Chain A
C-alpha cells in the first residue's frame, strides 16, 4: 500500500516537473487536497522549484492584474498604475480554487493563456461535487489528487532544473503512431474534449526531453497517459467497444503500408493495461465519480454562486449622500478630477457635492424552484410520464423567468438530489428524463430532502418555492422501513416542520383520481393543491406566478 502511495507522490512531483519544462503546452496543475502536511510539502517543493505568488478567488481584479492607483495618481497628477500580483515568470497558486466563480476563472484563463504562464490550483472541496469550475480545470493538463497520500510517503523529490530539458523539448518528435494511440485512448476513456490528448502528448514530450532524448519511448506515452488522461476518464475502456476497436484496426491497417508511420503505435491493450495499475486504488469508484462530475459540469453558474445577486452592483449614479447610501469613491474622484485646475486647489482635491456618486445596487433575489418528484412504483404505474411532462412545462416557465431549478427524486427507501440548483434547462431535462420509476413511496424523506435544500437555499439569499409531485400514498418511513402508518406519521412531522419554516409549497397530485389525503397535506403545508388531471399547462404556470 505504502508503495503505491509513495508512487502517487512521485507522480505528483513528476507532473510538476513536466509542467515547469513545458508551461505553455501543459497549462497548469490542479491539486485536490485539504490543507495538511502533504500539501504543504508539495507547495514547499513548488516554491523551491519556481517563484510563486499565492492568490485567492475573491481578490479584487486590480490586485491581481494591476490597475490605476487612485491615491498615487491624484498625488502625482499623472496616471500611476499599480502592478498586479500576477507578474511575469511567477507561478500563481490559487487557494480555495473550488470557490472561484466563473468570472474570475475566466479572467485567469485569459490572462495566463496570453502569457503562457503556468498556474497551480488548490482544490479544497469537501464533497465530490465541490470542485474547480471546468472553464479552469479543462485548460490544465494535470489533475492530481494528494488525498490518498500519507505524510510519510511524501519523500524523495528531486530538484527540478527545467532549463536543460527545455532545450531538448523542441527537438522531441511525436510519431504518427503515438499520436493515434493517445487520441484513441482518450476517446475510449470517454474524454470528449480534444485538449487532454494534446496535453498528454505534450507531457510525453516533456518527459522525453527531461532525460535528454529526442524520441518518445512507449514508457513516456504510458506515464503521460496515466498522468493526464486517467484522472479525466469517465468510462473504462471496455473491450466490447466495437466502434473504437474497428477504428483501431482500421488505423493499423491503414498505416501498414508505410512502415514509418505505424512505428511507435502502441497496441491499445498495452496502453490501457499500462495505465491501469498506475492509477490509485478505488479506480472504478473514481471513474464513476468522474462520470457524475462530468455530467454535473454545467452546474457552474448556478450552483457555485454562493453570494446571491442580492445587491448586484449597478453603475453608480450622481446623487446625495443620504440615508445610509454608500459613496462610490472612485467615481466621485473621477467626476471631481477634471475640475481641479478650474477650482484652483493644488494642495488637496476639492470635491463639490455635485461630484458625488453613490453606489446603487439591484435588490433582486433569485427564485429557486425545488421539484420533489415521486418516482415510486405506484406513481410510475399511475402517471410518472405525465408528472415528468408537467415538470417540463414548469421548467420552461422557470426558464422564461430565469429562475433556478433543482430536482429531487424519491423512490424506494430514500430521496436523492438529482440536480443541485442551476439555471440550465438542458440539464434539468436530462436528469428528469433519466429518472427511473419503481419501489415504495418515501414521501417523508422526499419532503425532508426538499425542505433541507430549500432552507439551505434561503440561507444563501434565494427565495425557494417547493413543488411536490406525488400520488400521496406514503408507505416508507423516514428511516427506510416499510409500513404505512409509520410513514404517514413521519409525513405529518415533516409537514409541521415545513409549515413552521414558512416555505411556499405547491402540491401537484399525480394520482389518476384526486387523492383526498393530498388536499389535507396541501392544507397543512399552507400551500396550493393542484390535481394533475385538471392542471393544464396554463394553470400550472399561473400557480407559479
Chain B
C-alpha cells in the first residue's frame, strides 16, 4: 500500500469522492458507478479509497472475512479463533476473469496431493464485507454480469459444481468504472449501483496544473508525498468512523421524506429504489457532515448521484442526466 496515491490529495472530482465516502459510511447504499473520460483519475480514486478505509475486525485466516468465529462457514478449515484487524478488502475483478475464479471452485492442488475435495474460495469470498471493483465494467462478459447480479441481490454466493455444495456470505460494495463511449451498460446492472457519477477532465487550467503537480511529486517520492497528506487522510478516516456511529441516530423528518418522494415522482424514476437510495445517501452525508438530521441541503447534493442513472432514457433530450436531476431539484425544492 506504500505506493497508493492518497485520497485527500485527489484534486477536484468532488462528486466522485463524495459518492465513495458515502458507500464507506453506509455500505448498504449499493455501490458506485463512475463513468467518464480517460485520465480523470477513476482508478486512482478507487485505489486511494482502499487505502483510506478503516480496518475491519475479522477472524484470523477466514477467507470470507467473517467478523465473529461462529460466522465462519463450516467448510473453512484454516480459520483460527483469534480476531485480527485487516484492511477493508478492495478486490479487483479483472475483465477476462473466469467464472471459477469469481465464485470459487475445487482446489486442484488439494485434490491432487491429498485426494480431497476442497473448496478454493474465489473473488466473491475475498470481497465479502468490502469492495468489489470492476474497471471497464461495460466490457464485462454477460455471464459474469449475471452472476454478479445474482450474488449482489442475495448477498450470498452459492456454489454447486464438481460435486461441491458450498455457500458463503458475499456482501460487498460494487464499484464500477468505465467509459460510456465504449458501450452502454446493461440496464439491470446499472440499476444495481446505488450511486452514479459522471467524471470529466477539469476544464480549469489551474486545476489541471495542480493535478499534474501532485501526480508528479507523488511519482517522484511516494513515501514523502504520502506523509504530507497523512494527516488529512486520517481526518477523513476519522470522520467516516464517527459518521458510521452517528448514522443510526441521524433523524429523517417527514419533510425530508416528502422531498425525496416528490423529487422522484417529478423525475419519473422507476420503482422505489430511487427514493430509498436518495434517502440513505442523504442520511449518510448528514452523518458525515455532523448534522443531526437530513436537510434539503444534503438532498440537494446527493440527488444527482442517486438519481441520474435511474431516469428513463429520453433519446430526444440531449442534456446530461445529471443536469436534468439538478433542474428537477431546483423546481421541486424551490
- Residue numbers of A with Cβ under 8 A of B are 24-25, 61, 68, 73-74, 77-79, 102-104, 106-107, 110, 134-135, 138, 170, 174, 176, 179-180, 182-184, 187, 192-198, 201-202, 244, 247, 251, 297-298, 300-302, 314-315, 334-335, 337-342, 389, 392-393, 395-396, 399-400, 402, 422-427, 429, 433
Contacts and interface: CB of A to CB of B under 8 A. Distances in A.
Given A338-B116, A338-B117, A193 B108 contact: no
B209 A180 contact: yes
Contacts of B143: 314-315
Contact of A103 (B96, B162, B211, B213): B96
29 contacts: A61-B96, A106-B94, A174-B216, A176-B213, A179-B209, A192-B39, A192-B201, A193-B40, A195-B38, A201-B212, A201-B216, A202-B219, A244-B205, A247-B205, A298-B180, A301-B138, A301-B139, A301-B182, A301-B183, A338-B111, A338-B115, A389-B316, A392-B316, A396-B313, A424-B183, A424-B184, A425-B315, A427-B181, A433-B318
A209 B184 CA distance: 44
Given A25-B219, A102-B136, A335-B162, A424 B315 contact: no
Contacts, number: 152
B37 interface: yes
Nearest to A400: B187
Interface in B210-239: 211-213, 215-216, 219-220
Given A78-B113, A103-B96, A179-B213, A193 B184 contact: no
Interface string B307-332: 00000010110100000000000000
Contacts of A427: 181
Nearest to A343: B115
A399 B108 contact: no
B292 interface: no
A422 B213 CA distance: 37
A396 B211 CA distance: 37
B136 A334 contact: no
Interface of B: 37-41, 94-96, 99, 105-106, 108-109, 111-113, 115-117, 135-136, 138-139, 143, 162, 179-184, 186-187, 201, 205-206, 208-209, 211-213, 215-216, 219-220, 313, 315-316, 318
A426 B181 contact: yes
Contacts of A339: 115
Nearest to B107: A338
A192 B202 CA distance: 9
A341 B205 contact: no
Given A110-B94, A135-B136, A426-B181, A342 B212 contact: no
B115 A193 contact: no
A467 to B, nearest CB: 15
Contact of A341 (B94, B115, B209, B211): B115
B109 A424 contact: no
Given A102-B139, A198-B212, A301-B183, A107 B94 contact: yes
A77 B112 contact: yes
Contacts of A73: 108, 112
B184 A425 contact: yes
Contact of A337 (B111, B136, B209): B111
A422 B179 CA distance: 14
Contact of A399 (B105, B111, B181, B313): B313
Contact of A106 (B115, B139, B201, B213): B139
B327 to A, nearest CB: 20
A393 B315 contact: yes
Contacts of A340: 112, 115
Given A107-B95, A392-B316, A193 B112 contact: no
Given A193-B39, A194-B212, A302 B183 contact: yes
Nearest to B221: A170
Nearest to A251: B205
Contacts of A244: 205
Contact of A298 (B99, B105, B182): B182
A350 to B, nearest CB: 13
Contacts of A342: 115
User: Which of B41, B113, B181, B187 is most buried by chain A, counting CB atoms within 10 A of its CB?
Assistant: B181
Given A300-B181, A301-B183, A337-B108, 8 more contacts: A77-B112, A79-B112, A179-B209, A179-B212, A179-B216, A300-B182, A392-B315, A425-B315
Given A61-B96, A102-B136, A247-B205, A194 B184 contact: no
Contact of A79 (B109, B138, B183, B208): B109
B38 A134 contact: yes
Contacts of B136: 102, 106, 135
A77 B215 CA distance: 48
Contact of B215 (A138, A198, A422): A198
Contact of B315 (A174, A195, A197, A396): A396
Contacts of A184: 205, 209
A338 B182 CA distance: 43
Given A193-B38, A424-B180, A395 B315 contact: yes
A399 to B, nearest CB: 6
B181 A194 contact: no
A193 B187 CA distance: 28
A396 B312 CA distance: 11
A103 B108 contact: no
A77 B110 CA distance: 10
Closest A-B pairs by Cβ, 5 of them: A298-B181, A193-B39, A341-B115, A338-B111, A392-B315
A399 B179 contact: no
Contacts of A103: 95-96, 139
B316 A194 contact: no
Contacts of B108: 68, 73, 79, 334, 337
A371 B205 CA distance: 40
Nearest to A300: B182
Contacts of B313: 396, 399
A461 B152 CA distance: 34
B91 to A, nearest CB: 14
Given A389-B316, A392-B316, A338 B38 contact: no
Of A183, A193, A337, the most chain B CB neighbours within 10 A belong to A183
Nearest to A432: B315
A515 B27 CA distance: 60
B106 A194 contact: no
Contact of A78 (B109, B179, B206): B109
Contacts of B109: 78-79
A505 B103 CA distance: 44
Nearest to B115: A341
Nearest to A317: B161
A110 B94 CA distance: 9
A298 B315 CA distance: 19
A314 B142 CA distance: 10
A234 B215 CA distance: 24
A197 B209 CA distance: 9
A341 B110 CA distance: 12
B211 A194 contact: yes
Contacts of B115: 338-342
A103 B113 CA distance: 34
